[in-house]
Amino acid sequence: MLLKLETIYSIQEVKMPTKNEISEFSMKIAEMAEESNLTIMDAIVVYCEQTGIEIDVASTLVSSALKAKLREEAQELNLLKKSAKLPI
C-alpha cells in the first residue's frame, strides 16, 4: 500500500514592504538613535528585540538614506574601508 505524503510546511506568501512601511521604520530608528544616543546599528538591534522582528525582516525595511548612515557609521568604527570622498 502506498502512503500519500502530505506537505507539512505550507508556503507562505512573502510580502515586500511598502514605501510607507520603509519610511516609518527609518523614522523610528533615527528617532530612537537620537533619543537614546545609540548608533543606527544598535538602534535597529534594540528595535528588533523590543518588537520581536527578525533582523532579516528589518533589513528589508532599511531605506537608502538609512543605509548611507549605516555605511558612514561603519566606516567611522573601522568596520568598513573608508571610501574616497571629494573635498568640498
Question: Which pLDDT belongs to residue 40?
Answer: 94
Q: How many domains does the chain have?
A: 1
Report the Cα–Cα distance between both ends of the chain, in Å, rounded. Answer: 78
* Gap between the Cα atoms of 13 and 40, Å rounded: 30
Residue 65 lies in a domain: yes
Residue 5 lies in a domain: no
* Residue-number span of the structural domain to which 38 is assigned: 30-76
CA-based R_g, the chain, Å: 19
> What pTM was estimated for this model as a whole?
0.73
Question: Which pLDDT belongs to residue 15?
Answer: 76
Contact (Cβ atoms closer than 8 angstroms) between residue 43 and residue 29:
yes
Question: Which pLDDT belongs to residue 17?
Answer: 84
Each residue's pLDDT expressed in tens, for the chain with a length of 88 residues: 444 444 444 445 557 888 999 999 999 999 999 999 999 999 999 999 999 989 988 999 999 999 999 999 999 988 888 877 666 6
Question: Which pLDDT belongs to residue 83?
Answer: 77
Residue 72 lies in a domain: yes
Buried b (16+ CB within 10 A) or exposed e, 44-83: beebbeeeeeeeeebeebbbeebeebbeebbeeeeeeeee
